[in-house]
Structure 1
Amino acid sequence: MDRAAIHDPYTAAGVDTAAGDRAVELMKASVAATQGSQVLGGIGGFAGLWDASALKAYRRPVLASSTDGVGTKVAIAQAIDKHDTIGHDLVGMVVDDIVVVGATPLFLTDYIACGSVVPERIAEIVAGIADGCRRTGTALIGGETAEHPDLLAPDEYDLAGAAVGAVEADALLGAARVRDGDAVLAIASSGLHANGFSLVRRIVRDAGLRYTDRIDEFAAPLGEVLLEPTRLYTAPLLRLLASPSGPDVHALSHVTGGGIAANLARVLPAGSWVEVERGSWTPPDVFAVLADRGGLTLTDVEGAWNLGVGMLAVLDPAAIAPTQALLQEAGMDSWVVGQVSTGQRPVAAFEQHAKGAAGGAVRLTGTWGDPHR
């Protein structure tokens, strides 16, 4: 043991405060790149500061908050020692929940717990978070890195974050705006995003696969395919909401844990229902390959994975064309998957009242498109 550590009981217990200070120095530039004039004091204080006088421009500002993590996807990043994109996943999970209600994200704070602070690795993770914040117009105003020796292995870490946004009260999106006959527009995901990775990891383990393996259907090693970062929807959706067709967007649903049906049900009014037509799209190969290796069908995993749909928009049918055009400009494919109904519905196999929301009912119907077409 280093002689200095003997005289520093905290270091002897496994906590390296000097490494933490070095990590902060390495991340400063990437964090600063997300901050505008509304951020006061930079990083290093006990609290992040954001000048709220900007909210004076609102007639009746409503604050929106969200908190989340990236789940066990971090285990794959750790397995292949690739940490530069996991921060995008955090921003996607947190900030894209803010835009769902029509809010503009203001700032985010992050929390990283690790077994041992490796300054370069922590800085790499935070650089990914900062890049995601920059892409979504969100200031990264602070965070915390906590070293937990004996609780986490030296190369293990977990991360979470929380964000705040603002929206005019009369511009809030949600079930109250949804109408009978509204169209449901699916917006493509970039892959698995950051949900259902406990199932992914179980399939990989039980199939005897390694994250370094090459699989015929994939252009990159398995681990890199699984780490494809979460698509960030905030910027194009905010442009959409500010466009002439924006008022005709009535609700948005972020397809995260629980899959398509459960998350769409959350933003529908009680008594309404939607049948999502499976045949309207073909899930990307990553879903079909994993399901096959696990001895499962795509229908079996509908409650775990997004199956190629990362966001859903409920909107007036007249707004479909301009909405799709704007999304296409942002490089996002979209397609109609269903329609909202308020009349009598079939009674079987609907997902409803998901995650405590007294919402509508949703089921997926039909068969999936041909994966080989």
Structure 2
Amino acid sequence: MIQLFFSSNEGITRAKVMEELGISWNTLTNDIYSFNYEMNKFDWFLETNEQNLLTLSFPYNHSLATYEAVLLQNTILYQISLATLDNKKITSVDLMDKYHISYSTLYREIKKWVPQLNEMGLSINMKEHIFIEGSETAVRRFLYFFFTKVSASPAFDLHLYYNNEISNFIKVLEENMQMSMHTLSKIRFTLSSEIHLRRYLSKKRVTITPKQYTFFQETEQIFSIEEAFKQLPFELPIAEKIHFFAQFFAMDCHFSDDTMKKRIMLAKKHSPIHYELTQSIIDGLPEISEQKLALCNNILNFLDNYIFLPCLLPTYECENSPWTKTTSNWDNAAIEKWIYKQLAHFKQIHPDLTYLELDKDNITANIMAQIHAAYLNASYAPL
């Protein structure tokens, strides 16, 4: 409903809203009341103007993401997620009392989230206690993405018990790996780490494979990351260390040339096809000489999502990946969009490279051709 108002500056008739959303007059009236009740503290209002059109007024310093976060924080799913985080017991009676609703209403509200959770391999257990269930890796990943969304709410306050210890972990990791983590990434890494530690303390465990263990051991030896783990409040078993460390590769960081070379060699050994694809992207650009490695650093997101995370977490689902499964999934439009995005980001870092904008179509076509050739000629399967 709110998206409708964001797309119209002049306002919308109630009839149009009801038609677009397929709702009744009573439902619309209740939704408007609920919205104004929840959002008036942030100066957001749905109101009727002189032309009898519904309009949305809000401060310009608040975004749609803020509104979405506030709404999410007021959902039943938020309470279930909090309980799941620390493995606390919450019952249907607890939720019915908190929201002053019947069991049938509670059931309907929870059922709304089931399809989205199912897509992540999760479900909501509603037997004796209510909680999110599925593989431990999937549960932790969901909690991270969900709380990251809710964190845009001005009222969000998830107490971080291990903030100082995690900050020290990041500091040592930056020193040993000769890298710097961007501020926003530090915030996200701290949240993700908090989730990992609290789920572990709640006696929830992750599992690993021999391949994960081997890859982690090599990474640990090359970058001396054991010292970073000594900063945490308690000793973690090897499986937890691997999952804890893996999240680092999903963050936005800048690496030294020496670290980049070491990471590329690891990629070449453990995932040849992804190494070839990455190399194809680099080779597809015009000669940049001393800035070649800078570009490689910009494509770290590719390395991380398609090499390091799958090596450490085979169940990790690469986002926006047009080529991770089989050649039948090859999607030219998706790949072209991804390459454009990488070039645009690199141009922001190096605005002096004007040819990236002037010749981006030819560059993109060249890169796509090389990626496709490397993909089709590979005799080994992707991770």
TM class by shorter-chain length?
Answer: under 0.3
More strand by share: 1
TM-score relative to the length of structure 2: 0.25
Higher RCO, Cα 8 Å, sep 6+: 1
Q: Calculate the TM-score normalised by the size of structure 1.
A: 0.26
Q: Give the greater-gyration-radius structure (CA).
A: 2
